Structure 1
Amino acid sequence: MSIYSPHEGREKQELYEWLKNFDLEGEWVILGDWNMVQRRKDTAGPTTLLQGFTQEKWRETEQKWQLQDMFLMSSEQKGPLFTRQVVRGDRLDQARLDRGYITRGGDWISAVKCVEHDEGEVLSDHIPVVIDIQLMRRGGRLNRRKGTYLKMDVDTLKNECRKNRVKSAWQSGWTLSQDPIIAWELAWGKVREEYKEFRREDKTKLSRLREMQAELGRARENISTTEEMLELAKLEREVKERETLEASIIRRRSRVNWIKEGEASTKYFFKCLKAKQAQDKIDSLWDQEENLITNEEGVHDIIYDFYTELYRQPELEVGTEAESRQVLSLLKNQVEEEDNMKLIAIPSAKELPFGVRGE
């Protein structure tokens, strides 16, 4: 937008009011002869300093559109501060009248790299101003068509430590250069390096998964002390963490392999995968003293004692102690082999929809 501001105060006020109410979305670049300055040190001789109601009107416009003075934004200022030089007798009058403003509305922010002045002779009494302006998407990419934000994958968002590492890498990249284009490339380079480090960490963890699973199986068979139980619990947590990581990696890879088959096929694949990984059995329980019980007899005793105490409660209205023993006699000490096979059997493809939808 090109502006030529009048000299008279009331006309200035009308211009500022019009700019304040101007209906335009997005980023503005406003250049022109404003015939005004805001600081007394920016003018000499015949002053055009904004004062009173005229200054108030300008401040309203400036605040609404968050106008930024390009000269003050410049990271590399070249040339004189004053843009108007007039010889009046033996005195040189100077005033900063040619102004450039950028608004900060919407998603765009602006970067002024350089403000230069042409010292050559011109017919006008103003010094020509050349301004190098760059528009930058908030959060990253210098492209109006493909504004890019920093998006993290779901696994990273769930991991608070990794999320903070990615944020730190992104922010550190922007401090390495004053040039927004170079800074954006450096920031994304930092993020890519961080994700490569994540993959190396995951690969290291998964390299011992099968070995740890075998170690866990041996540990469950040979437990005799409390220390061994605590070590077993710690090992179980580590194995569970690695198994979860492996499942997430399988999910990412399978998406690439199944994307051609469509969304329905992908969902069916994950249903089968989930059913295949499921295990319907209890292999350990914590007793009332918070001791981890892993042997079959101990687990059986805990469950049996729990239901024994449950059926002895008066609100069940079982009646006499003899009747209580009669009810307990109906509970089998263990699941029959035939029923157990049904419990641990992997569901077939036809059975999956019934289990998922509860049909």
Structure 2
Amino acid sequence: MDLNERARLVRRISNGKLRIDFQYNHQDISAIVADPTLELLAESDYIYTYNYRKCRDNGILSVSESIDLLKEQGRWTDEDENRLEIFKNEYKKLQDRLPNLKFHKKRKRAINDILTKINVEIERLYNKKHAFDHQTAESIADRAKRRFIISKNTNILTPNIDLKPSLIDTLVVCYYRDNAISEKDIRLISRTDPWRLYWVVAKETGTSLFNYAATEMTELQYNLCFWSKIYDFAFDSTNKPSDSVIDNDTEFDAWYELEINRLKKEQNHQQDNTISNKSNKLVLSNEKFIMCDEESIDEVRKLNSSVAEYYKKRRSDVINEKGTCGDLDFGDVKQELRLGVNRQNAK
């Protein structure tokens, strides 16, 4: 998604309205649909509950019962269920490995490819398991909820057009399917400009991003702010992930979960002593050894400061000159030893 498309979606979400031009009964129709506020969504929850109970009273199957029916017909088996669970568990295990492959790009690419294939299988099995969902009480109640929202939030611009049930059904499809903004797009918008600039300026100046109170935000605005806060956490973290991780939802989710768990352990003072001691040694040491593949060598080298690069060059010159040498042949090592002796004598 380029900058212009992101800017268009930011305006669309900030405005809280969507203009829809479509055909209905061979006639061109124009309408404006307002995004549902949290208040309207709360009201629509009642519509959902009422229609769900009505469906159940009339003997319409629930989602869980529809799955049982598939089992009775042999269209969903215990083997299918086991495979779905195996794929989900394998996906989670591989995803959790991603944060540890920062400097192993080939292995990371291979795992991401496997994750993509596993996700395809998960979706295929999920769709198979939920083949009857559209006929369930939950689905019927959800459609009633959407019709209610559209009926309350739509302004027909075309003259002499009434908001009939069939027209509402058409608008439901136009709004919820044809013009939907996915969570993936919301995440992308929340971490990039132009929204990122608006978000940061609003925080720094204390100005409002929208023309009404936070409790009156639309669902899309709420989701956009929610993900903006999540990415704030990443951008401000002392263990900030790389841009490639931030731009990959799967890798970012793995990093975020790992980082949250790490912070929780620190807050509760429950870190393992061995890990803690090892971490302290790494912090206090002059050198750290990082395993990486060939593609990540330059990235690891960039972690060195200009002073470290200077000493690296001097050590390389000594090695090239002498061939074989020990620690005391390096000037920076001898200097550090002298400083250590002076500190001891000063006590």
Give the TM-score normalised by structure 2. Answer: 0.23
Look at both structures and tell me which one has the larger radius of gyration over its CA atoms.
1
Which structure is higher in strand share? 1
